[in-house]
Amino acid sequence: MLIPAHYELMERALSNDKDRESIKSVANEIRLLLNPHPAGQQEYNVPEIEGHRLHGLQHKYRETVLFFPSSGQTCHSYCTFCFRWPQFVGIDELKFAMNETELLVKYLEAHQEVTDILFTGGDPMIMSYRVFYKYIEPFISDNNKTNIQTIRIGTKVLAYWPYKFLTDEDANDFLNLFKEITSKGINLAFMSHFSHPKELETAAVKMAIMKLRSSGVQIRTQSPVLKHINDKAEIWAEMWRKQVNLNCIPYYMFVERDTGAQPYFALPLVETWNIFRKAYQMVSGVCRTVRGPSMSCTPGKVQILGVGKIDQQKIFVLRFIQGRNPDWVAKPFFACYDENAIWMNDLKPVFSKKFFFEDEAELIYEEKCTDSGIHSFE
Ligand SMILES: *Cc1c(COP(=O)(O)O)cnc(C)c1O
């Protein structure tokens, strides 16, 4: 999956009989060339409270904070297309993680605009019940002073280890905790990664979904479009239909990010959009809760609404689903048609030198880099 230049570097290191350490350092050199932190994650999204930078938190969009609990930074399995690959390659400076919930809770108490906390990783569902409970406790305790109304868990557990909720020792503890959370009026959502309908076919996954649903858990589904894996409209239509039949809610279709093995998995944006469009046409409205194709880039989540035409000239029609400035959201904007473009930075505005949000985005990045890093959207 390496591009030829990187492959040659590694090939040379291996054939020169280098020692383990030098091979590792060649691997790390290559890793650093693979854009380990796309979308300005390390520079612009790190919040602060009482002078502490919270490296295990990302606060990019007003309502939602991403939380990387330090105990949730491994996975059930490692996907070759994972955009969070730096979490797993043993270069600590590249890793986001946070140990303590105390600072997290302080941050959330001070930021009442945050309604959603998204536990992510790695995979938070790698945690045992006892560890996981410690992270959840503040939100169900009677002294909870945060404004958290939704707890989301980004996970591939249903596809990779549905036994977590069936036969694992602490399966029932988890299900009971989920009941307790949801009976407090908190929305508990599994942001469940399924990249192929096959992952929805086992008896185990069906049973696990049923058990979660009976504990009040909402299951929303998402995946990137991946060459060699799910790059056909029929696959997506079947996957959404199967998800809805199992009472899961299709949520996002993503564009493979500009990191890691992107050259191996990415498709041109036009092709991705065609897969979305054709699949969307094949299913009924209940499956069309899905939004996409969506690029998570530095200014926000950009949706490819499609290819339009003005005066015989093809153009991309885009919009923000999420923006660093909420005011950018849901305003259509345009980019020159380019059949080879695979990511936002390949796109050029049509009617002006810059996209409408660019100047303001620059100001936001400057502010985030130079001073506290605390997001202020006032
Ligand atoms: C996608 C995303 C979210 C959640 O956005 P929703 O549209 O509410 O699902 C939050 N933070 C970051 C950094 C994201 O990429």
Find the mean pLDDT for residues 100-124.
94
pLDDT at 246: 98
Distance CA 234, CA 280 (A): 10
Region 19-35: mean pLDDT is 92
Distance 299 CA to ligand 1 centre (A): 12
Q: Ligand 1 atom closest to Cα of 296?
A: 15
Banded model confidence at residue 16, pLDDT cuts 50, 70, 90: confident
Our answer on whether the CB atom of 31 is closer than 6 Å to any ligand 1 atom is: no
- Residue 102: the pLDDT is 86
Q: What is the number of the ligand 1 atom nearest to the C-alpha of 58?
A: 13
Residues 6+ apart with CB under 8 A from 74: 88, 121, 122, 123, 126
Assess whether pLDDT exceeds 90 at residue 110. yes
Residue 255 near ligand 1, beta carbon < 6 Å: no
Question: Residue type for 183, please?
Answer: S
pLDDT for position 378: 24
Secondary structure (DSSP) of 232-249 = SHHHHHHHHHHHHHTT-E
Instruction: Find the 203 Cα to ligand 1 centroid distance in Å.
Output: 31
- Indicate whether residue 276 lines ligand 1 (CB < 6 A): no
Q: Is ligand 1 within 6 A of the CB of residue 296?
A: yes
Please write the tens of the pLDDT for every residue from 69-98: 988 888 998 899 988 888 877 766 666 656
pTM score over 0.85:
yes
Q: Which two tokens stand for residue 287?
A: 């499956």
Q: Per DSSP, what are the bridge partners of residue 155?
A: 192
Overall residue count recorded for the chain in this entry: 378
- Asked if 316 and 304 touch (Cβ cutoff 8 Å), the reply is yes
* CA-closest candidate to residue 132, choices 119, 150, 122: 119
Q: Whose CA is nearest to atom 3 of ligand 1?
A: 64
- Going from the Cα of 223 to the center of ligand 1, the distance in angstroms, rounded, reads 14
Quote the CA–CA distance of 61 and 320 in Å, as a whole number.
12
Of residues 377 and 211, more confidence is placed in: 211
Q: Which atom of ligand 1 is nearest to the CA of 63?
A: 8
Q: What percent of the chain shows pLDDT beyond 90?
A: 80
Provide the 3-class DSSP secondary structure of residue 206.
Answer: helix
**For position 4, what pLDDT does the model report?**
95
Confidence (pLDDT) at 51: 85
